Structure 1
Amino acid sequence: MNTYRWLTVMCLAAAMPAYASTVFKPIEMKDSELAQLRGRYVMPGRIISFGIVMSSTWTNAAGDSITGKASMQIDSSTITPQFYVQTTGSSGKGPTPNTGTGTVVGGTGLGSGQGVTQSVRAAGDGNTAYNNVGIKVSDNGLAPANIVQSGQTLVAGGTITGDSGAGRVSVSATNGGLQMAIQANHNQGNSVQQIGGGNVLQGTVLQGNSNFVNNMTQLNVVMGNNGLGNTALNCNLDQLKNLRSMGY
């Protein structure tokens, strides 16, 4: 019995160096495993400021323009998050655009996508359209100072509109999100931006000619410089100590 035990111990001892050498051996991850990754985490309390800016502009062939802009800024002093909306319009000097005759079909599934969905569908000539989503992360630990937000306050379930020769812009707060839509005059087309429920949607349909459309959504995040607390540091040190017993 003693001989059997000693042989078992000797076999385990001989196997341990080989086992330890493979613990941290790099291996290639499969695409299916990478698909489950969600990016880096953020420790609680590190985000000290968060803001959203959304704007849409439509300019037609005559130079008529309509713009909608919505913004929100949240920091430690914010009691209730609030969107502020501004709408502006201007008249061009060109002749009234010809009524758009283009027809765009399909695309019903674009409104039910997950994540970020962007689309531009055109049935006219000489059009220009942009969909832009930006995320700016600052790690300087300084929240924007004295931000003065102006415009009309958007209440839940409410809608704010603005008109010009180019069309009508409508900004609404529905289903826990924000939507900004433009319906262009003279059947030139329409555009929409929407954020909420973990999804971002930007879409433009062009049925006329020589239109310029720009959709932009910008997320601004400021991170604090607060370091790890004693609890987190001790946890990391304990992990390092466990590696020493394995020869690392």
Structure 2
Amino acid sequence: MKNYMLLTAIALAVSLPVQGASVLKPEELSDKELSQLRGRFVMPGRVVHFGFTMVSSWQNAQGQMIGAKVDMQAQHGMYRPVFRVSTLNDDAGYGGLPESLPQGTITGGAGLTRVDGASQSIRAAGDHNTAENRIALNVKYGNTAPALNTSGKPLTSQITSSNGAGSVQVTPGNNALQITIQANNGQGSAIHKIGAGALMQNTQIMSSHNVVKNLAALDVVLRENRATINTLNCNWDQLRGLRPSGI
């Protein structure tokens, strides 16, 4: 059941338009589209809260860190989702290690940007690096949505930030949302993208002693759906209609 929920939640998340103007607008599916559906679904009235968080960060050998966090929140009764962005910026670091310069070459991998569904990639040409791509799914039952996160800035256009570790860009557009990190001095890059039918976490490290993270989390709160006499009777009527003639 958890696998079905994960596939359903990821499919919903990657199909969300960034500005979300029509995300809650019902649309009728054709017979062809219905024949291709897999997994499970829930009726819109049961979704109390749907949230998605994506975080990308890069910490270099000197402890300097750059990154960004994006929160998307949609709750029952809301006309459109809310997107907010917080930049992660630690320019002080902890020193001690010399600056790590590029040590190798990474080639190929162009096809990773054209994968449908979820893709994760870590490629490194240095030593003593730590890299993580992770997707988490949290499904709860309840009748109350959590409080909306009001930290950070509303996402209305591209947001950028930079320091001694590198630069980060949060870019909405083309029905997708992307976080891009470029480490200074060609030490590597990280891309974290959701939308347009895909969820991608891609890291390339060209130096040593870096800590790179691409983390995504889906949070869903479903209203308890207790069976009633009318619901059970309706289900029995549907089953009777499926009986072969004469039984």
Q: Same fold (TM over 0.5)?
A: yes
Question: What is the TM-score with the length of structure 1 in the denominator?
Answer: 0.77
| Conservation of the 8 A alpha-carbon contact between 2:47 and 2:76 | no
Q: Distance in 2 between matches of 1:241 and 1:98?
A: 71
Q: Distance in 2 between matches of 1:180 and 1:70?
A: 9
Q: Distance in 2 between matches of 1:116 and 1:243?
A: 37
- Counterpart pick for 1:109 among 111, 117, 137: 111
Bigger CA radius of gyration: 1
Change (3 A) 1:41 1:98: closer
Q: Which runs of 4+ in 1 moved over 4 A?
A: 228-232, 239-248
User: Residue deviations 1:100-129, cap 9 Å, x none?
Assistant: 132100000000101100000111111110
- Secondary structure, aligned partner of 1:45: helix
1:60 partner letter: N
RMSD: 2.4
User: Residue deviations 1:2-36, cap 9 Å, x none?
Assistant: xxxxxxxxxxxxxxxxxxxxxxxxxxxxxxxxxx7
How many residue pairs align between the two structures? Answer: 210
2:196 partner letter: G
Q: Distance in 2 between matches of 1:175 and 1:245?
A: 49
Q: Post-superposition shift, 1:95?
A: 4.8
- Counterpart pick for 1:131 among 133, 149, 165: 133
Q: Distance in 2 between matches of 1:197 and 1:245?
A: 43
Counterpart mapping for 1:120-199 below 5 A: 120-144=122-146, 146-155=147-156, 158-199=157-198
5+ residue gaps, structure 2? 1-35
| Conservation of the 8 A alpha-carbon contact between 1:49 and 1:143 | yes
Q: Distance in 1 between matches of 2:160 and 2:216?
A: 19
Q: Post-superposition shift, 1:242?
A: 6.4
Q: Post-superposition shift, 1:240?
A: 4.8
Question: What is the TM-score with the length of structure 2 in the denominator?
Answer: 0.77
5+ residue gaps, structure 1? 1-35
Q: Post-superposition shift, 1:177?
A: 1.5
- Secondary structure, aligned partner of 1:50: strand
Change (3 A) 1:168 1:103: same
